[in-house]
Amino acid sequence: MRILFVHQNTPGQHKHLARHLAADPANQVAFIGKVQRHIPRVAAVTYKPGREPGAATHPYIHLFEGGRAPCGPGWCSDSAASSRT
């Protein structure tokens, strides 16, 4: 069987399932995500978004568009906000 996982923080919550499925030589398991982590017998492909979120993009959507949330009053801790500026 061929199994493809798509998750921006590969492997995310699918780590144990991917290992289990990959242990069967009859399966081909692959991940597509923003980060690459090694799992035996699992192929991995990484991607990087082609652009940053636009200024008009709602702050909740920034995580999907650019991989990080904008920091502002009430959004992030002070230490997180200072590291993003």
Q: What is the pLDDT of residues 63-79, one digit of tens each?
A: 776 655 555 555 555 44
Q: Give the bridge partners for 4, in sequence order.
A: 30
CA 62 to chain centre: 13
47 — pLDDT class (breaks 50, 70, 90) = confident
27 — pLDDT class (breaks 50, 70, 90) = very high
Beta strands in 1-85 (DSSP E): 2-6, 28-33, 42-46
The per-residue pLDDT for 54 is 79
Asked whether the predicted pLDDT for residue 62 surpasses 70, the reply is yes
Region 22-48: mean pLDDT is 91
Put residue 37 in one of left, alpha, beta given phi > 0 → left and psi -120 to 50 → alpha. beta
pTM of the model: 0.61
